[in-house]
Amino acid sequence: MTNNAIGYVLKTAGKKVVSNIEGNNMETGILSTIIKNCTLTGKIKADFLVFEVDEGYVPVVFKDFPLNTLIVLDFFRDQLDRNGEVETLILKINEFLKTYNNNLILNSDDPNVSRLGKANPDNKNIYYFSVDKYKYATKEQKEAGEGKFCPFCKTRLEYEYYQYSHIGKFKCPNCNYGDNPIYKLATNVDLNNRTFDVDNITYKTKFNSIYNVYNLTAVIACVSLYNIDTEIIKNALSKFVLNNGRLEEVTINGIATIINLAKNPTGSNVSLRILNEDNDEKELLFVLNDNIADGFDVSWIWDIDFSNLNNVSRIITSGKRAYDIAIRIKTAGFDASKIEPYLNLHDAVQSLYKTNIKKYVIANYTALQPTRKELKL
């Protein structure tokens, strides 16, 4: 989302942009994007190259490829059988950053990301962004998270509040880690009206998720470094949408439907936060696969918080692991008589639209596009 939004803002500003907007974010995908946009002599005619890069491939892609600005948004457990534990990824990127001296934009509210600002003490181009406390922030951590201890002195971090997962206002009581100079701060977050302020300027967005307020604040921080006019940024962000299953809002058979990709516990919990912040009656379809691209290990579903779902009258599950996710939801306390598992995705969608109630659809990586196709999008 962040990658595509940056590209959209730059294009709105009249810049020629080459980007992997389809999400092919590993080495081969990025290389194919470059090849498709270069001349026979290997030259690319563009003002900006904007790439989303898989966390594990950052050191690989940028070993020989010039990098002017790097944004690191957050670290969460994802595909453990491929990536390993989060700390493995953090240390890999931290090692790369020890010799990196260009722009580095970091989420100050993620203790796993904030630490990267100290990887290279000689880099004077560190820019932190943050989002002020929003309406649904909590005093206690409600979802699975990673950042519990100071990475420097090992003292347990103290949080003023949590926005979601381990993202929030934190500080180490021993060494003061977490007290960063903030380059861009989002305030007055209003998810109902889909607005937030940065530098006393109100931005309107199509998205109603705290997760995407963080993403868009990072976008503003990035394009501001390239002196893009504020009015252009405002105009672009007010129109920017993702019609690829990332918080996609559509009408199907006259019924409001919200579709979102969720390939790890945090993505799922963010999707459920959006669902729970909506007081309308709704039904949920959760599609879960365990293909190679998803990771064979689906134990992460036990870190999804299905407790206290707000006004959800029925849940349908599908995908290769339809019964696994159905059992997870049942053990969270949801009425088993209102859970319908279907291995066949067509049958699941047919059952979903037997009623006229608002729909929420959550699908993991390889399940997303087949689900959208079945929904006739």
Cβ-contact 131, 186 below 8 angstroms: yes
- Which of 216, 239, 262 is the C-terminal boundary of a domain? 239
- Do 42 and 128 belong together in one domain? yes
The number of domains in the chain is 2
* 24 & 152 share domain: yes
pTM, full prediction = 0.84
pLDDT, tens digit (0-9, with 9 covering 90-100), for 95-108? 999 999 999 999 99
Query: Which of 241, 268, 261 lies closest to 4, judged by CA?
Result: 241
277, 191 in Cβ contact below 8 A?
yes
Mean pLDDT is lowest, of 20-24, 49-53, 109-113, 121-125, for: 20-24
By the 10 Å C-beta count (0-12 exposed, 13-18 middle, 19+ buried), 307 is classed as exposed
pLDDT for residue 82 is more than 80: no
Please check whether residues 192 and 111 belong to one and the same domain. Answer: yes
Name the percent of the chain lying above pLDDT 70: 97
Assess whether 314 and 211 both reside in one domain.
no
Q: In terms of DSSP bridges, do strands 126-131 and 182-190 run parallel, antiparallel, or are they unpaired? A: parallel
Question: How far is the C-alpha of 41 from the C-alpha of 269, rounded, in Å?
Answer: 47
> Residue 305 corresponds to which tokens in the numbers above?
């918080």
Of all residues in the chain, the percent with pLDDT exceeding 90 is 73
Token pair, residue 125, equals: 């181009």
202 and 100 share a domain? Answer: yes
228 and 303 part of one domain: no
User: Does residue 62 sit in the same domain as residue 203?
Assistant: yes
The residue out of 176, 207, 239 marking a domain boundary is: 239
Residue 138 sits in the same domain as residue 218: yes
CB 9 within 8 A of CB 238: no
The pLDDT value given to residue 200: 96
pLDDT digits (tens, 9 = 90+) for 50-74: 999 988 888 888 887 889 999 999 9
Q: Is 122 helix (H, G, I), strand (E, B) or coil?
A: coil
The strand pairing partners of 159, in sequence order, are: 170
Is the same domain home to 165 and 129?
yes
What range does the domain containing 122 cover?
A: 2-239
